[in-house]
Structure 1
């Protein structure tokens, strides 16, 4: 998607042992992204701001962090229409200046903290949570019996949660599935799976967007979770399960954070290898969770 978008704007791309992009001059174009990729949209957006002429970015991602980048570019002097929609119109080339800009909250981190509060049955106030972007996330957690309260721009997770999975109409087994924004985010499916292990009832988790996101559930099963992995995209979780400590390896950012949540609520000690992955999406995570009462210790990786 990145390559196709930049090619449509005039870049020449060659692939040998590396990708090489050459563009003496970018030109505005009618660009259709073959999938609404967040980072591909952001790359195309930045390129379009520098390109000569008008660019239409269609099937663009519209997640809050894409909106944040677009609003930042506008603050610098870019002319962008349709921010927050799947079609953005960029008038280039822009003459950019300087600006002071406050980065918006990370809705994925907020959703992860909701899961943390739920699995530890702890009250939590998340300040400056960006509540306007949390509708689908809150709806997803409400399906697991977790209800949050809004106070201004703070999100409060009370401790007296039912943690009872809500049946679908007619008593059918409920389903939680991800889709492109503004639906429930793919990056929170791993967190929702761990949270569901601590909730009463049965739920089907349907990961539609990525092929390998479910492949960490064997680690949760080893900790005592009752999960049936149906295929690379679907898993059935029955809870609640009493988890116990285990040694795990983080395959990616979101699964790593999910493992951390499982370890925090499990009995005993857990070890998570390849923990640097987690910090790609969660800055100073052990410092902040320890301030909330967790007991997390960073240790050097063993060699050999």
Structure 2
């Protein structure tokens, strides 16, 4: 198992380019199975979760050609659905939560599928009900084999339907859309997710010949078509990486320029960091964060303590709450972090408390951070990464801390961040990967 050894307390400086968006990649890559024609995808991040999905797509019989460091061409002219019944598929799919995104395209094009209960981060319950109920409303029939922990799905006659989703699930909405584009008739999805990554998926599918309207809203209408063609698509930069780098600059008092950010697609993210007191400048499509010795958390207009909570888009993404929490530890002021969606995602704060942070974990969903205002630095400790986002949050804390920190289980970080150690070294970070 690999470990990061970090000597903290160094100011960083330079430019960094965010990777392609992980969460968009998992949707877009799954969509290549909807057509027999070639689909070329650019700006694909070289990270564990994405590489595992590409491997699975290849195992299904899709021709995978690597055109460059971040570009692939996929041709799913011959797909072997029998692979879904193999032990190899079950093992690989169970280890990757993103494998659930293959369901919609496979059901739409081939009428049947099987999938084990997917894996992923240990951040609490993550229901698949939205996916499955949506498929059922389109006419799919489910059978759960409890002995094999395997779902068998018959979708031989998918028909358009009206549905009101029980939650605005991004992956659920994407999966249902991919199933509906080849269903007969019209599908209407209300309370649909409308994240930029989902907008990207819909725009790509329309270029392939789908008929999707309402893109960017929570009311999506899909008119089913008989077949889809090939296309070319470029992934957005990863908004979670961009937010992580903003937090990194603030915590380490560094001057960093984040290049090619697609600022128009970041929504409320820059504003939330500004409310923590972090200064930034938009220079074209780049974000420049100047070196800042102090930053002060805003209060609400009536003077009460600021609360930052996650919410469906265009609200604040839950994937950045861990970063916000870490950044607040050295701010002036107090903030309540409310993680509504996942009940275990704040449990990494015990590591920050061991480092000297002042945090009260109110319950599994809420933590109050009392900023140290740099009166004392965090101190280096040994710790383990519990999930992707918490892992990077601990990495940012370690880079700002006095002394040496060690972070184990960094495979979790590698699942979502491409070559993070070498990219941070280029900014001047003292970070070493060891076994």
* Structure 1 gap segments, 5+ residues each: none
Q: How far 1:161 sits from its partner (Å)? A: 6.1
1:83, CA displacement in angstroms?
1.0
The equivalent residue for 2:331 is 199
Q: 1:4 — aligned with what?
A: 133
Q: Corresponding residue for 2:280?
A: 148
Q: How many residues align?
A: 300
The counterpart of 2:387, out of the listed 252, 259, 264, is 252
Q: Could you tell me how far apart the structure 2 residues matched to 1:161 and 1:56 are?
A: 51
Larger mean Cα displacement after TM superposition, 201-210 or 214-223:
201-210
Alignment-derived partner of residue 63 in structure 1: 195
Residue in 2 that maps onto 1:212: 344
Measured in 1, the distance between the counterparts of 2:165 and 2:153 equals: 18
1:80 maps to which residue? 212
- When residues 281 and 94 of structure 1 are mapped into structure 2, their CA distance, relative to the original with a 3 A threshold, is farther
Report the CA distance between 1:217 and its aligned residue: 0.5
Residue of 96, 100, 113 corresponding to 2:228: 96
Identify the residue that residue 14 of structure 1 maps to in structure 2. 143
Q: Distance in 2 between matches of 1:229 and 1:21?
A: 42
Q: 1 CA distance for matches of 2:386 and 2:280?
A: 30
SS at match of 1:192: helix
Instruction: State the superposition RMSD in angstroms.
Output: 1.4
Match of 2:304 in 1: 172
Give the match's secondary structure for 2:278.
coil
**Match in the other structure for 2:409:** 274
Does residue 1:264 correspond to 2:408, yes or no? no
Q: Which residue number corresponds to residue 284 of structure 1?
A: 419
Distance 1:267 1:50 in 2: 57
* Map of 2:378 onto structure 1: 243
> 2: distance between equivalents of 1:170 and 1:12?
53
Structure of higher RCO (CA pairs closer than 8 Å, 6+ residues apart): 2
Cα deviations by residue, 1:115-165 (Å, 9 ceiling, x for unpaired): 111111111111111111224111211111012211221111121364111
How has the CA–CA distance of structure 1 residues 94 and 272 changed in structure 2, closer, same or farther, with 3 Å as cutoff? farther
Say which SS state the counterpart of residue 297 (structure 1) adopts: strand
- When normalised by structure 2's length, the TM-score is 0.67
- Secondary structure at 1:170 match in 2: coil
CA distance in 1, matches of 2:420, 2:208: 31
4+ long deviations beyond 3 Å: none
Distance in 2, matches of 1:112 and 1:125, equals: 13
Give, in whole Å, the separation in 2 of the partners of 1:147 and 1:77. 44
Q: In 1, Cα distance between the equivalents of 2:199 and 2:285?
A: 18
Mapped to 2, the partners of 1:271 and 1:20 lie a distance apart of: 43
Distance (Å, rounded) in 1 between the aligned partners of 2:379 and 2:294: 22
Residues 94 and 64 of structure 1: CA distance in aligned 2, closer, same or farther (over 3 Å): farther
Matches of 1:187 and 1:54 in 2, distance apart?
33
Contact 2:250-2:292 at 8 Å conserved across structures: no
